[in-house]
Amino acid sequence: MSRQELFRRMRKSYFFVIGATLVLIIVLVALFSHYIAPHDPIKSNLAKRLLPPQGLSGGWSGNVMGTDPLGQDILSRLMVGSRVSLQISFSVVIITAVVGTALGIVAGYFGGIVDTVIMRFSDIQVSIPPIVLAIAVMSVLGNSTFNLIMVLVFTRWVQYARIVRSNVMMIRNTEFIHASIVLGSSKIRLMFTQIFPNVLTSLIIVISQEFGRTILTESSLSFLGLGVPPPAPSWGVMIADGREYLSTAPWVVIVPAVMLMFTVLAFNFLGDGVRDILDPKNKN
């Protein structure tokens, strides 16, 4: 696909335009959260605890979205928390893509025993529900951001490996690969300079779909107290903190919950847009 055609399809896809714009805004806010947040996100002030959202009536430095049980400003925590959540999701998606792709290429290219071992392991892996596995592993290892990322990678690599593998098996026997072998390419070179570019499209589609899911899983784990350790204000932690105040101060839950939904929606829009652009036949 030419560059012009790519841009034309990008502009034509509403999903892509809306998703990309929203994601860009969210990422920018997350990146600069420390500068633009009106308050210190982890400074408690018990005199100001559980204040309802006051909009902009108190100006930007008021508690625009209210305060939580410790008197911390919810908007500031939301902004800084988006950074925590996004950092984790990006790391997970990138590492999973690298690991999954490498295993998928190796399995698809070599076939035989290597393929059998990797694929049978993936069968076992997908037989354990991801959240349950993550809960079990996190409870054993203890919660730290590093463990959280590793666990999420461990539960999601199969997705990539399977798609990449089936792609590799399709192109392994094409003429340009044979030509490359005849020209004396080493296996490593073949896998990463000839085969890899050809699975890139499928890979980008999967990656774009995975962000939303990863953010959701991370928030669920953090909600259960098995994600990001305190005092980092992850969204899941913020939602969990508000659970006891559902009747007296519902905004403590509603604000991060709606923000989480909105963010995942933005990433899902982007994911659907990317698929529309790269794989117009698949309208699932």
Q: DSSP assignment, residue 194?
A: I
Provide, rounded to whole angstroms, the least separation between the CB of residue 60 and other proteins: 27
Residue with tokens 């570019």: 197
Residues numbered 103-122 forming contacts with other proteins, rule: CB under 8 A: 120-121
Query: Any contact of residue 284 with other proteins (CB under 8 A)?
Result: yes
Query: Any contact of residue 20 with other proteins (CB under 8 A)?
Result: no
Could you give the string, one character per residue 152-191, with x where binding to other proteins holds by CB under 8 A and - elsewhere? ----------------------------------------
Query: Any contact of residue 250 with other proteins (CB under 8 A)?
Result: yes
Query: Any contact of residue 278 with other proteins (CB under 8 A)?
Result: no
Q: DSSP assignment, residue 46?
A: G
Residues 221/222/227/230 CA torsion (nearest 10 deg): -170
Taking the least distance from each CB to other proteins, the nearer of 39 and 275 is 275
Taking the least distance from each CB to other proteins, the nearer of 185 and 220 is 220
Site size for other proteins, by CB under 8 A? 44
**Cβ(66)–Cβ(54) below 8 Å:** yes
Provide, rounded to whole angstroms, the least separation between the CB of residue 1 and other proteins: 23
Provide, rounded to whole angstroms, the least separation between the CB of residue 113 and other proteins: 16
- The window from 108-116, 158-166, 169-177, 248-256 that contacts other proteins (CB under 8 A) reads 248-256
- The window from 26-34, 158-166, 199-207, 238-246 that contacts other proteins (CB under 8 A) reads 238-246
Query: Any contact of residue 283 with other proteins (CB under 8 A)?
Result: yes
Provide, rounded to whole angstroms, the least separation between the CB of residue 140 and other proteins: 5
Residues numbered 122-141 forming contacts with other proteins, rule: CB under 8 A: 123-124, 126-133, 135-137, 139-141
Q: DSSP assignment, residue 48?
A: G
3-state secondary structure of 106: helix
Dihedral sign of CA atoms 50, 257, 80, 217 in order: positive
Residues that bind other proteins (CB under 8 A): 120-121, 123-124, 126-133, 135-137, 139-142, 212, 216, 219-220, 223-224, 226, 236, 239, 242-243, 246-247, 250, 253-254, 257, 260-261, 264-265, 268-269, 283-284
